[in-house]
Amino acid sequence: MKLSHFNFDLPQELLAEYPAENRDESRLMVLNRKEQTIEHKQFKDLIDYFEPNDVMVVNNTKVFPARLYGNKEKTGARIEVFLLRELNSETRLWDVLVDPARKIRIGNKLYFGDDESLVAEVIDNTTSRGRTLRFLYDGSYDEFRQKLNDLGETPLPKYIKREAEPEDEERYQTIYAKNEGAVAAPTAGLHFSKHLMKRLEIKGVDFSEITLHVGLGTFNPVEVEDLSKHKMDSEEAYVTAKAAETINNGITNKRRICAVGTTVMRALESSVSSDRTLNEFRGWTNKFIFPPYDFSIANCMITNFHTPKSTLLMMVSAFAGHDFIKEAYEEAVKEKYKFYSYGDAMLII
């Protein structure tokens, strides 16, 4: 498969600027791989496709407010700092992206907050926009992290042209988020409401939680026509023994194992044993899934509608079949489904 196979015309107005009013009332397109059928539903109708002891695997990563705005010393220029990952908690070193990058050089200092109580010094260049910063703050580590939380904004994706609003703090987070570490939400999970999860639990569906801290690498554009030459950024993932046990029981009993989102699918496929069951896992994964690919764990998937040429679209094509996904996406554009992070959902069975 080549990069150009994953291009399609996506009208700008189909990129969702806001989420659906109620989480579980976004639209749901249901693809049946065996029958090659497409149905149009609401997300809360998901319950009709699951039976007792089916397993839903969710990503419980929590998005932290990763976007900060500081001022450069002397010039006072406003600089956006996007926190990617903490490199060292003792020395408060962070891997970040800066914008505009051309103004930020090694040795520069940035000041944050009205009282300028948080300062960062540029230690190194990593990529064209990437920098290593050392934060200077008078206080304990917990107070420093609290300061970052206070000053940070919800890191809405760049395609959303508006400023982050107070509601985004809640809506750009799944209701089961608990392990902080992501700079982007695992968006397939945003459609679950407390009410829908309760109904699924009452029906007997088992939930299994894994963690994959979504990094910006997930959204890096693919710039090579030959997909085998694309390198994914590494993301931290955890699959506990308990999660593996629940999922493996489902596999043994031939139940539906549903990966809620591409991040879950990557984590599962990164920790497969030789007998196609799931191992406990703790580490980093840079797994890139594109067609053709033989999936080992999940036989069902929930995902959002992805942008052209994205690695996410490639994974979904590998799972559902390239031609079937192409047909589904043409239908989605025609039916005006909303795309991307705050957009509508797809269930592939």
Quote the mean pLDDT of the chain: 94
Q: Which residue has the tokens 């392990």?
A: 179
Encoded amino acid at 72, one letter: K
Alpha carbon 247 to chain centroid, angstroms: 21
**Distance in angstroms (rounded) separating the CA atoms of residues 141 and 134:** 13
Q: Which string of DSSP letters, residue by residue, matches 278-347?
A: BPPEEEEE-----SS---SS-SEEEEEPPPTT-HHHHHHHHHH-HHHHHHHHHHHHHTT--BSTTS-EEE
Helix (H) or strand (E) holding 98: strand 93-99
**Domain at 3-63+169-348, CATH from 1.10.3720.10, 3.40.50.1980, 3.40.50.10860, 3.40.1780.10:** 3.40.1780.10
Alpha carbon 108 to chain centroid, angstroms: 32
Q: Which residue has the tokens 């960062």?
A: 120
Helix (H) or strand (E) holding 283: strand 281-285
**Distance in angstroms (rounded) separating the CA atoms of residues 62 and 177:** 5
Alpha carbon 41 to chain centroid, angstroms: 23
pLDDT (tens digit per residue) in 142-183: 999 999 999 999 999 888 989 889 999 999 999 999 999 999
Question: Residue 219 pLDDT > 80, yes or no?
Answer: no
Long-range contact pairs involving 168-173 (C-beta distance under 8 Å, separation at least 24): 169/65, 171/19, 171/23, 171/342, 172/63, 172/341, 172/342, 173/62, 173/63
**What's the predicted TM-score (pTM) here?**
0.92
**Distance in angstroms (rounded) separating the CA atoms of residues 247 and 262:** 17
**Distance in angstroms (rounded) separating the CA atoms of residues 275 and 20:** 41
Helix (H/G/I), strand (E/B), else coil: 214: coil
Q: What percent of the chain lies above the pLDDT cut of 90? A: 86
Listed by start position, the domains of the chain span 3-63+169-348, 67-153
**Pairing of β 109-112 and β 179-182:** unpaired
Angle, in degrees to the nearest 10, between helices 322-334 and 311-320: 120
Would you say 113 and 61 are in contact if contact means Cβ atoms under 8 Å apart? no
Which of the four pLDDT bands, split at 50, 70 and 90, describes residue 129?
confident
Which of the four pLDDT bands, split at 50, 70 and 90, describes residue 217?
confident
Which of the four pLDDT bands, split at 50, 70 and 90, describes residue 233?
confident
Question: Residue 244 pLDDT > 80, yes or no?
Answer: yes
Helix (H/G/I), strand (E/B), else coil: 76: coil
pLDDT (tens digit per residue) in 29-62: 999 999 999 999 999 999 999 999 999 999 999 9
Give the CA angle between residues 166, 18, 64 to the nearest 5°. Answer: 50
Fold of 67-153: Thrombin, subunit H (2.40.10)
Would you say 173 and 140 are in contact if contact means Cβ atoms under 8 Å apart? no
**Distance in angstroms (rounded) separating the CA atoms of residues 83 and 131:** 10
- Percentages helix, strand, coil for the chain (3-state, rounded to 5) are 30, 30, 40
Question: Residue 201 pLDDT > 80, yes or no?
Answer: yes
**Pairing of β 55-59 and β 206-212:** parallel
pLDDT (tens digit per residue) in 65-116: 999 999 998 888 999 999 998 999 899 999 999 999 888 899 999 999 888 8
